[in-house]
Structure 1
Amino acid sequence: MRKFLGTKSLAVILLGSSLLGFAQNPTLKEEVKTTPALTPVLSQAQEELHRIINEVAPSVVTIFTYKEVKVIEPFSPPGFDEFRKLLPPDLRDFLPFFGQPKVKKERALGSGFIFKVDDKWVYILTNNHVVAKAQKIVVKIGRLKEVTAELVGADPKTDLAVLKIPKKEVPDADKRVAKLGDSSKVRVGDLVIAIGNPFGLENTATFGIVSALHRRIGLDQYENFIQTQAPINPGNSGGPLVNIKGEVIGINTAIIAHAQGLGFAIPINLAKWVANELLTYGKVVRGWLGVVVQELTPPIAQALGLDHGVIVLKVIPGSPAQEGGLEAGDIILAINGKP
């Protein structure tokens, strides 16, 4: 069994560009040459990256969606309607119908990954925005196999969806299941790999780090994004963000347009809960507390001697919150013992 290198050895990769720069300097070239131990470490780190990608890549699929949309042709130019009336009826149909609705077929693509298999079905996690309003969904496995998928359920509030395809249509289905990690253990600086199909370029892998945690960027109602510096592009949506153990820790979801190195992934712990709800009920069943809250601002937190929490702005009459004794002005520090 190959020995797992861990973060320390893989981090040596980050030094690669600097070392190459040093090698251009004649005074440092000899010094670099006198460190033969470095090459084996880099080689082992590279092999470890190969192992991770090869282990996860079979679980990643391309998702094609098809739908029909109505489009309106531009208004007819001045005098066009009068000219059309002068033509014989048989010729009028050959002219464009300006201003009339027409049906246009659209195809879009995204990514997803296999996270569960049972006796009959293979289940795929992806983003809701990848499959929303689709009239037909096709999953591509590998380079040749395409299978029509069924939507198990979707949750727009977290931008997650689960698809299923017949197990008999998926070669070696049981070996393609991705290993899911624990996103609560993710830390800023962790090395990560994003795998997906940006612009239809299948099984593209990019490398980076976790840049920040608990990001909100205003896309969904429930947001707690992992921010990553690993390059993500259109078509990556729904693909896995993987740690150096080969575990999926997030689902690549969004980027900030015209920016570089600003990608966002849904934490896998949230995705696991949502997926279980969709598999069980076909939708997400959420509890209702009945409060309006706001995060503490720095001045208020400092005045109260706190470093976290939310303040209750309003309690809905007759709600579980009111029955439980919550009042406007209360500060919530933890739920079920968790801050």
Structure 2
Amino acid sequence: MRAALCGLLAALLALPVAAEADERLADLVERVAPSVVNLHTSGLRQSRSYWDSFFGGPRRWESLGSGFVVDEQRGLIVTNQHVIGSATEILVMDHEGQVFEAQLVGADEGIDLAVLQVQGLSLPAVELGASQQIRVGEDVFAVGNPYGHGHSVTRGILSARARSLGRDEFDLFLQTDAAINPGSSGGPLFDAEGRVIGVNTAIDARGESIGFAMPVELVRAAMALLVAGEAVVPGWPGLRLEEERRGLLRVAAVYPDGPAERAGVKIGDVLQDVDGKPCRGRSGWSEAFGGAFPGDRRVLGLLRGSRQINAALELQSRDRWARSRVGSPVAVEALRVRVQRVAPDVADSLLIEGGLEVVVVGRGSFFRRGDIIIDVNGRPINNAGDLAVAADMALRKRWLAAIVIRDGSKARIVQRW
């Protein structure tokens, strides 16, 4: 009886605290809601079949999403690129139902971010916070436009940080159990003080209450580049790692004249830490490099045999490295081949402009000597750098589809690891 009374008393004492927390959240929502907008985008989808030309041609598509004001004076709004897509019309609706037409300032598919501008917009800007200062387990809340129903609020906690979604670029996300439904993409994730700590970007459809947001630090850097009209390019370390037991990361490839090779990294080195912070598994790698840009510096703590060494490297653009490798044949270890540029007369006879000829085939390779590789996973192959980059990305996805010219005819090679 006494235990029951104590439990009841504890529950009654907790009620004012819960009520106070709810009231505080309501005050925060009232303050930040005017900065969050609903997006309605539309465009024309090009005909894909012969018969479409007889039945109306291109078809109109529509999409819903969310966004938030980041610059009140210039009327700048941030959202996800996948919300905008190839839209020819972008409409912005504020919390009072007023509709404005927006113009696209800049967008990047790799990072999945877009910046819009609305002339004459007089909505307050959000306050950008710092996701790195939020501890796992702290309260967060999201505001968005789920299924087009208008402003909606969901609450939860920061479930985890440095999550990887297996993307090729900018693979660094916060995880939350605050509901993020279709239509809420591009909306803000707030901390308990009403500051934006991320852009709600994706959900895991395999389970409930598993949402992912792009960290505000990454958003801030990419937004500045897009507004300036510059490309958003990820920083590349010039190496490939393989994950072994217990999250151990071992260097499996070092790309010629890349950042890692210049820093003295060797194949077989074991990665122990990055900038003094232990690095284990995909999540550790994503945390260290998922939000990096060219010019950023990292110090790798490596174990080579029994020796502890440090390698200081400056990240660069992977595409710029690939362009610098034009005309430089290279052994692509991941594919067990060595390639060289196609002779001009051969290229002319085959009516191709790029491509690489396989001149040496290693044991276990699925290419043949004499194959001319012209495409890997949808990426045109014009030089050895292109092939090395494409092979690296294919290994990370554990899937490769290559188009080659074999015995004068095109062939498709598919390989899974």
- Class of the TM-score when normalised by the shorter of the 2 chains: 0.7 to 0.9
Aligned partner letter, 2:65: G
Which of 87, 105, 114 lines up with 2:60 in the alignment?
Answer: 105
User: Structure 1 residues 300, 211: closer, same or farther in 2, change over 3 A?
Assistant: closer
**Residues 89-238 of structure 1: matches in 2 within 5 Å?**
102-118=57-73, 121-166=74-119, 168=120, 170-171=121-122, 173=123, 176-219=124-167, 221-238=169-186
Aligned partner letter, 1:329: G
Q: Per-residue CA shift, 1:101-153, capped at 9, x if unaligned?
A: 622111111001111233xx211111111112111211112233211111111
Q: Per-residue CA shift, 1:292-337, capped at 9, x if unaligned?
A: 3226433473xxxxxxxx5432222233433333332334532546
Using the TM superposition, give the Cα deviation of residue 264 of structure 1 relative to its aligned residue in structure 2, in angstroms.
0.9
Determine helix, strand or coil for the equivalent of 2:225.
helix
Residues 242 and 252 of structure 2 are in contact (CA less than 8 Å); yes or no, is this contact kept in structure 1?
Answer: no
User: Who is 1:319 aligned against?
Assistant: 258
Q: Which has the higher relative contact order, 1 or 2, with Cα contacts under 8 A spaced 6 or more apart?
A: 1
Residues 83 and 185 of structure 2 are in contact (CA less than 8 Å); yes or no, is this contact kept in structure 1?
Answer: yes
User: Structure 1 residues 34, 246: closer, same or farther in 2, change over 3 A?
Assistant: closer
Aligned partner letter, 1:41: V
| RMSD across aligned positions (CA) | 2.9
Using the TM superposition, give the Cα deviation of residue 233 of structure 1 relative to its aligned residue in structure 2, in angstroms.
0.5
Using the TM superposition, give the Cα deviation of residue 224 of structure 1 relative to its aligned residue in structure 2, in angstroms.
1.3
Determine helix, strand or coil for the equivalent of 2:221.
helix
Aligned partner letter, 2:261: Q
Q: How many aligned positions are there?
A: 277
Using the TM superposition, give the Cα deviation of residue 285 of structure 1 relative to its aligned residue in structure 2, in angstroms.
4.4
User: Who is 2:366 aligned against?
Assistant: none
User: Structure 1 residues 189, 327: closer, same or farther in 2, change over 3 A?
Assistant: same
Using the TM superposition, give the Cα deviation of residue 253 of structure 1 relative to its aligned residue in structure 2, in angstroms.
0.8
TM-score, normalised on structure 1?
A: 0.73
TM-score, normalised on structure 2?
A: 0.60
Which of 173, 176, 197 lines up with 1:249 in the alignment?
Answer: 197
Determine helix, strand or coil for the equivalent of 1:250.
strand
Aligned partner letter, 2:254: V
Residues 141 and 156 of structure 2 are in contact (CA less than 8 Å); yes or no, is this contact kept in structure 1?
Answer: yes
Structure 2 spans left out of the alignment, 5+ residues? 276-296, 301-417
Find the aligned partners of 1:101 and 1:107 in 2 and give their Cα distance: 17
Task: Establish whether residue 259 from structure 1 lines up as the match of residue 207 from structure 2.
Answer: yes
Q: Which sits farther off after the overlay, 244-253 or 143-152?
A: 143-152
Structure 1 spans left out of the alignment, 5+ residues? 1-24, 76-96, 302-309
User: Who is 1:16 aligned against?
Assistant: none
